[in-house]
């Protein structure tokens, strides 16, 4: 699944879409990838003499993968919804390796459990087969209201 197909699952769009391709997807886990080009403008201001990919962006990529998994499940269950999965909590975020420019990362998000309207997930960012970031997070389906 490539970017234009990903955009059928989640509302994110460039320049804030952090999934390039979905490699695999089923009811409980999604595996996607993202290439962070050296041209990424944030490298100019985030440790400019030693550019690394911001941890918050790496986490957001995992959260977007999780949102795509939720949207996929809702489609598979043929549940009509006007809601969108939104992040409700982040916990146990661990940053184990730096992700330099021109890196291809693999993103994993796994469904742990569904509690009422909340989806509890675990995610990882892998670089060269090794975990760079691990995070647990929660999402809920919310009907977003346009700004006034």
- Our answer to whether residue 46 is catalytic in this structure is yes
DSSP 10-70: ----TTS---SEEEEE-SSEEEEEEEE-TT-GGGGTSSTTS----HHHHHHHHHHHHHHHH
> Is 41's pLDDT higher than 70?
yes
Q: Is residue 26 part of a domain?
A: yes
Q: Is residue 147 part of a domain?
A: no
Q: pLDDT at position 107, please?
A: 99
pLDDT, tens digit, 9 for 90 and up, residues 48-74? 899 999 999 999 999 999 999 999 998
pLDDT, tens digit, 9 for 90 and up, residues 83-142? 788 999 999 999 999 999 999 999 999 999 999 889 999 999 999 999 999 999 999 988
Q: Which of 46, 97, 110, 122 is catalytic?
A: 46
pLDDT, tens digit, 9 for 90 and up, residues 3-22? 668 988 998 999 999 999 99
Q: pLDDT at position 144, please?
A: 75
Report the pLDDT averaged over residues 74-78. Answer: 84
Q: Is residue 127 part of a domain?
A: yes
Single pTM value for the model: 0.92
Q: pLDDT at position 1, please?
A: 66
Prior bond to 15 cis, omega within 30? yes
Q: Is residue 135 part of a domain?
A: yes
Q: Using alpha carbons, select from 105, 103, 63 the residue that is nearest to residue 85.
A: 63
Q: Is residue 88 part of a domain?
A: yes
Residue 88, both tokens: 């409700």
Q: pLDDT at position 117, please?
A: 86
Which residues span the domain enclosing 59?
3-142
Q: Is residue 79 part of a domain?
A: yes
Q: Please, what is the average pLDDT of the chain?
A: 93
DSSP structural state of residue 2: B
Query: How far apart are the C-alpha atoms of 112 and 19, rounded to whole Å?
Result: 21
Q: Please report, for the domain that includes residue 67, its CATH number.
A: 3.10.129.10
> Is 79's pLDDT higher than 80?
no
Phi, psi of 42, deg, nearest 5:
-65, -25
Q: Is residue 68 part of a domain?
A: yes
The number of distinct structural domains making up the chain is 1
């Amino acid at each position: 699944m490539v970017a234009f197909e990903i955009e059928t699952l989640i509302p994110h769009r460039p320049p804030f879409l952090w999934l390039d391709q979905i490699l695999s997807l089923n009811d409980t886990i999604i595996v996607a990838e993202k290439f962070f080009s050296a041209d990424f403008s944030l490298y100019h201001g985030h440790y400019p003499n030693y550019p690394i990919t911001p941890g918050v962006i790496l986490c957001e990529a995992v959260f977007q993968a999780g949102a795509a998994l939720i949207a996929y499940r809702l489609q598979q269950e043929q549940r009509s919804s006007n809601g969108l999965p939104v992040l409700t909590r982040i916990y146990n975020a661990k940053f184990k390796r730096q992700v330099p420019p021109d890196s291809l990362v693999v993103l994993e998000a796994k469904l742990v459990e569904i509690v009422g309207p909340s989806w509890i997930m675990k995610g990882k960012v892998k670089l060269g087969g090794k975990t760079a970031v691990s995070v647990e997070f929660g999402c809920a389906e919310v009907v977003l209201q346009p700004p006034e």
